[in-house]
Structure formats: structure tokens, C-alpha cells
Structure 1
Amino acid sequence: MAAVFGVSLKAEERFQAAKGQVSLDHYPVRNWTARHRHITLAMFALAFLAVAADDAKPTRPADPNRPARGREPVDLTVPEIHRFIGALLSPPVTSLNALLHWSNWCRNHQASARRSHYRQ
């Protein structure tokens, strides 16, 4: 019973991520065909972002304690990749260097928070 609950919880988390990242729940359509096309494109976009985030991970040896003890920044996530693509496709409000600086700061801050959490 616990295994079934765990699987359904993971599926619900992924569905919430899809709603937040690729606007899966924002479809201003009236018929089934248009809704189906919107959901298909949204899921394709989420799959693209997930593959890009997985491809951006550096190759490291498998170490179960690495997230708690590592000094390197947290790996790129789907929201981070989404932000990069949005920044590259829209008119530049900030420079590329500022965007990369923000990303490095944010991921280093997340790594520091993770170390502090595991230290307690």
C-alpha cells in the first residue's frame, strides 16, 4: 500500500511541475482537439526541458553523500533551464553575464542551504 502511495505522490509532484513550468493547466480552448494539441505540446516542452537538464549534469562518480558534502553548486534544474531559454528568446533585459552570475549565485546558495540542512 505504501508503494502505491509513493508512486501516486511522485506522479502528482510531476504533474504540479508540469503545470508550473509549461503551463499545462492554461489552455484557453473550447474543443477536445485543441486541448489535446495543447497538452501534447506542453508535455513535449517539459520532456525537452527535462532532457536538457539531465544532459547538463556533469559526469561524476556515484557518491551517495555528494549532495550533502559537495562544495560544487547544485545541478541545473528544469526551472533553471526554462529561465535560460526564456531569457535567450526574449529581448534582453539583462546581459548574459548577469544571467549566468545569477544562476551561479543561486545554485551555490542552494548547495550551501543543503549542506546546512544535512549538518543539523
Structure 2
Amino acid sequence: MKQIDIVKQLQMIRGTISKIIKKNTECCSCTTRPRSGRPKKITPIVERYIKRLSAVNSRASATHICKEIVEQNLSNISVRTVQRRLNDAGLFGRHPARKPLISEENRKKRLDFAKKHLH
């Protein structure tokens, strides 16, 4: 089969088809070659689990999430790795604001004060 026939059949650019054919004849396969750089320590499944744990319990620290993952033997990762994954997901570690407990009596007094000083 000619390249032009393949281009018409697959509706792709001729240059793409010629590169694939050239790669196939040189290497005998079209598989991706190994890349440089260190592979990730966690899998996408563990990454989703980290996000889910943080979403379910927003007060959970990265240390707590890390301990839970190690206890379940999902992966042996550091706290910093969990922090990086949370940052990438947009879930930054923040302390929730503390609110004072308002008693029922104090709530009534505040409401009376507000109604009394209404303009």
C-alpha cells in the first residue's frame, strides 16, 4: 500500500505517516522508547487516593495522609511527596479559622442588641 493511499484512508498528514513508517523500519516497532529522568514513586491510583483523603477530611495533615498510605501498603512515600501532590491538585495546607463557641444566652443577647441598634 502506498503512502498516499494510507493518508487518504486514515485522513492524516503525509509527514506523520512517513515518520511512522520510517520509525517502524528502523526500530522494528512503534513503541515509545525509554525516557531519561527518574520515574514517579506513586501511581495515578495512589495520587487519586491522596486527593480523596484530603477532600473527605479537609483537616487531615500531609503527615496523617502519608501515614495512612504507608499503613495500607499502597506506597512507601515521604510527607513531602504528599505535599507536592496536594499542591499540584490545588489543595494547599491551611489551618482552619477558629470560631468562638456562642452560647444560646449570648446569641439572644446579641440579637436583642442588633435589633435595638438597628437604624
Question: TM-score per shorter chain, which class?
Answer: under 0.3
Point out the structure with the larger helix share. Answer: 1
Q: TM-score, normalised by structure 1?
A: 0.23
Which entry has the higher C-alpha Rg, 1 or 2?
A: 2
Scaled by the length of structure 2, the TM-score of the pair is: 0.24
